[in-house]
Amino acid sequence: MNRMDWLTRIFLITICLNILCACTNSEVESDKDGSKTVANHTNKVVLSSEVKWTPLNPARGDKSPQAATLWGDRNGSEATGFLVKFVDGFSSPPHIHNVTYRGVVINGTVHNDDPKVENMWMPVGSFWTQPAGEVHITSAKGDENIAYIEIDKGPYLVRPVEKAFDNGERPVNVDASNIVWGNLSEISKSQRAFLWGNPQDEKPSGSFIRLIAGFSGKIQSEGSIFHAVVIKGQLHYQMPDAKDPKILSSGSYFSSEGRSAHQTACVDKEGCVIYVRTDGKIDVTLLKVD
C-alpha cells in the first residue's frame, strides 16, 4: 500500500471518529451543576385534568369505579399504569383478578383485604399489592378517592370468587406512616423508599421519591424506561422545549425513554411525593431551594 492510500485511510478513520464523538456529545451533555442535559428528549407529561375516565368494569354499569390509563393498555398484554376513581362509600363485592397488581393511594382512603376482616383504611401515600387469584374486596371513603394501579402484564380482568386460585404470592398493605425512607441525596435532602423489585438488577422496580418544599432541580434516570406519578403535593415541571412550566397536581404523570432528565420544582409547603417505576439508576440534583 503506497503513502497516499495510508493517508486516505487515516483521513477516513479520523472523520468517522469525529462523527461518533459528535453523536455521543449531542445525546448527553453536562450542565455547570454537574447534572445531565439530554438533547433529543423523550419526555412526556399527562396532567390529571387531561385523563379520560371510562368504567373499570363495564359489566357493573354505573356501579363500576372509573379508570384512566396513564401508560400502556390494561386491556392488552403489556405492563400498564392507570388511575382508579371510587365514589365515597364504595365497596366492591368479593372478587379476584387474573393478574397481580400494585396500588398507591392518591386521594381519600382505601381498604383492600379479605372480605372477612375489618376495614383498615389506608391514607394518601399508602402502598398495597393484590395477588392474582386471591379473593378480596376494595372499599373507599372520602369526598374524592383516587388510587394509582400498576400491573406487569395484562389484561386486567375482574373474575368471580369461584375462579379463585393460589399463585403463591401474599398481599402487602403498608400504611403511609410505615413507609421506610432513606436518603437519596444529602445535598438536595431528597429521600427514597423502595417498594418492590431490586434497583440493582436493571429490571423494573418501584419506589417513592420525596422532595422537600421549595426544591428545584432535576430527577435524572439512567434506565430505558421511566414512569412517574405525582402522589402528593404539587410540582412545576419544565419541558425542555417549553417556555412555561406545567403544573402537576396529584394524579399527574410524566415519563421518558432512555437516559433522561426531568426538571421539577416542588411548590407544596408540605413537600412532594412521587411514585417512580424504572429499570435504572436515579439521581436527584438540586439547583436551588426557594
User: Looking at residues 5-25, what average pLDDT do you find?
Assistant: 41
In a domain, 14, yes or no: no
**Residue 17 pLDDT level (bands cut at 50, 70, 90):** very low
Q: Which of 146, 140, 155 is nearest to 125 (CA)?
A: 146
Q: Which three cell numbers stand for residue 230?
A: 405525582
Average pLDDT over residues 32-59: 80
pLDDT of residue 29: 45
Q: Can you say whether residue 141 is alpha, beta or left, with left for phi > 0 and alpha for psi between -120 and 50 degrees?
A: beta
Query: Is the predicted pLDDT of residue 21 greater than 80, yes or no?
Result: no
Q: Please state, rounded to an integer, the average pLDDT across all residues of the chain.
A: 88
Q: What is the pLDDT of residue 129?
A: 98
Any idea which of 24-28, 39-43, 219-223, 285-289 has the lowest mean pLDDT? 24-28
Instruction: Compute the average pLDDT of residues 74-81.
Output: 96
What gap in Å lies between CA 128 and CA 172, rounded to an integer? 5
Q: Which of 79, 58, 56, 53 is nearest to 68 (CA)?
A: 53
Grid coordinates of 138: 376494595
* Residue 256 placed within a domain: yes
φ, ψ for residue 288 (rounded to 5)?
A: -170, 165
pTM of the full predicted structure?
0.86
Q: Does residue 54 carry a pLDDT above 60?
A: yes
The CATH code of the domain that includes 106 is 2.60.120.10
Q: Select from 135, 152, 177 the last residue of a domain.
A: 177
Residue 122 phi, psi dihedral angles, 5° rounding: -95, 125
Stronger pLDDT, 24 or 284, i.e. the higher one: 284
Q: Is residue 194 part of a domain?
A: yes
pLDDT value at residue 152: 97
- What mean pLDDT comes out for the span 20-30? 39
Q: Which of 137, 153, 177 marks a domain boundary?
A: 177
Query: What confidence score (pLDDT) does residue 156 get?
Result: 96
Q: What pLDDT, in 10s, does the model give residues 231-274?
A: 999 999 999 888 899 999 999 999 999 999 999 999 999 999 99
Q: Taking the alpha carbons of 10, 15, 19, 22 in that order, is the dihedral positive or negative?
A: positive
Question: Structurally, how many domains does the chain consist of?
Answer: 2
Domain boundary among 177, 210, 240: 177
pLDDT of residue 59: 85
Q: Residue 41 sits in which domain range?
A: 36-48+179-289
Q: Cell numbers 389506608 label which residue?
A: 122
